[in-house]
Chains A and B, each alone.
Chain A
């Protein structure tokens, strides 16, 4: 039931762009994105609901294709501080709306080099 993330890892130079993808085999109610730095807890970046509503940090952008059950996180003009592991979390459609719990993928490790 875990969503599938790709790529597993990516290395960038400062200023380069990256796209991280997340796909599910289930119909999705929402997709979340979190970043975890080494030795720390995951931190919320963005939530995208079916129907188009979304909330997140100003410098982060993402898309959610409900029909394809996929989401993508766009990291543009990367900075050293973007380094970390990115997780997508999926909330599955259930009876009457959301099934309720949030299931995370295995993560994408992003390294930004000077």
Chain B
């Protein structure tokens, strides 16, 4: 089954404790992206990756890191989480931009709470 998986689905942590949210897709997609969703603000892009070893900042990259060492995986790293990073996070994958097939497949989401 074609899917994007994220782990963990729920996480409560404390300020400053490094954490990683994993994202994996089994569709051989080149493009992967991370979004955060907050009430009233929609889906805001954190980072995106056009292919392996190619990453770029989205609209809200501060406080986050990513890496793309393999095509299927795109982990999101919070080196020193703060309460303003409490949010719902979605990973998405797709074929290359600019194509009619550039349809985003979203993971189930990770609800993060930083106290």
Query: Count the A residues whose beta carbon is within 8 Å of the partner chain — how many?
Result: 30
Contact of B56 (CB < 8 Å), options: A2, A44, A101, A103: A101
Residues on B with C-beta less than 8 A from A101 are 33, 45, 48, 56, 58, 97
At the interface, is chain A mostly helix, strand, loop or mixed?
strand
- Flag if B33 contacts A102 (CB, 8 Å): yes
Q: How many angstroms from the CA of A103 to the CA of B59 in the assembled complex?
A: 9
User: For residues 46 through 62 of chain B, which have their beta carbon under 8 Å from a beta carbon of chain A?
Assistant: 48, 50, 56, 58-59
B47 to chain A, nearest CB (A): 9
* Most chain A Cβ neighbours within 10 Å, of B58, B97, B105: B97
Residues on A with C-beta less than 8 A from B104 are 32, 34, 42, 44, 89, 102
- Flag if A2 contacts B102 (CB, 8 Å): no
Q: Does A100 contact B (CB under 8 A)?
A: yes
A35 to chain B, nearest CB (A): 11
Closest B-chain residue to A107, C-beta based? Answer: B42
Contacts A41-B90, A41-B106, A101-B48 given: A2-B42 contact, CB under 8 Å? yes
Contact of A97 (CB < 8 Å), options: B45, B98, B105, B109: B98
What are 30 sample pairs from A and B whose C-beta atoms fall under 8 A apart?
Answer: A2-B42, A32-B103, A32-B104, A40-B108, A41-B106, A41-B107, A42-B43, A42-B106, A43-B106, A44-B104, A47-B100, A55-B100, A55-B101, A55-B103, A87-B42, A89-B104, A91-B97, A91-B102, A98-B97, A99-B97, A100-B31, A100-B50, A101-B33, A102-B94, A102-B97, A102-B104, A103-B45, A103-B58, A104-B35, A104-B44
